[in-house]
Amino acid sequence: MHITEFKSWKHNKEQATFSKFITDRVMAKINHLKSKQFYYCHRSYSYRKKGSDIREIKSMGTNKIGGVCPSMLKVTILKCDETEKVHVKYWKTHCGHP
């Protein structure tokens, strides 16, 4: 898919799971045409703007099995002419939230 499609797809997933996919490292460049990046599910993303909801979100983030959500994205970006094509492998199993 195109990189703009990927961005809106990722945004939709974040909205649906009340979380955010974050990356903790810079994009690994494999060669001049290919790079790879991992995104991890980060649940403390405050999807609601109201201050009164902050406590609720924090309690949601306290997970009985350690608080780590195993869902992640492995993203490979291929440069093709002037466009960037994105391949996504998606581990969709979330822990402790939708």
Choose which of 6, 10, 21, 41 interacts with Zn ion (CB under 5 A).
Answer: 41
User: ∠ CA 74-79-83 to the nearest 5 degrees?
Assistant: 110
CB-nearer residue toward Zn ion: 41 or 75: 41
Choose which of 14, 69, 73, 86 interacts with Zn ion (CB under 5 A).
Answer: 69
User: Is residue 94 a contact point for Zn ion (CB under 5 A)?
Assistant: yes
Amino acid at the residue 42: H
Choose which of 6, 10, 13, 71 interacts with Zn ion (CB under 5 A).
Answer: 71
CB-nearer residue toward Zn ion: 68 or 78: 68
User: Is residue 42 a contact point for Zn ion (CB under 5 A)?
Assistant: no
Distance in angstroms (rounded) separating the CA atoms of residues 98 and 84: 31
Site string for Zn ion, 12-31 (x = CB under 5 A): -------x------------
Least distance to Zn ion, CB of residue 77, Å: 23
- In this structure, the dihedral spanned by the alpha carbons of residues 91, 95, 97 and 98, taken in order and rounded to 10 degrees, is 40
Torsion angles phi and psi, residue 14, rounded to 5: -65, -40
The two tokens of residue 1 are 């898919």
| DSSP structural state of residue 2 | B
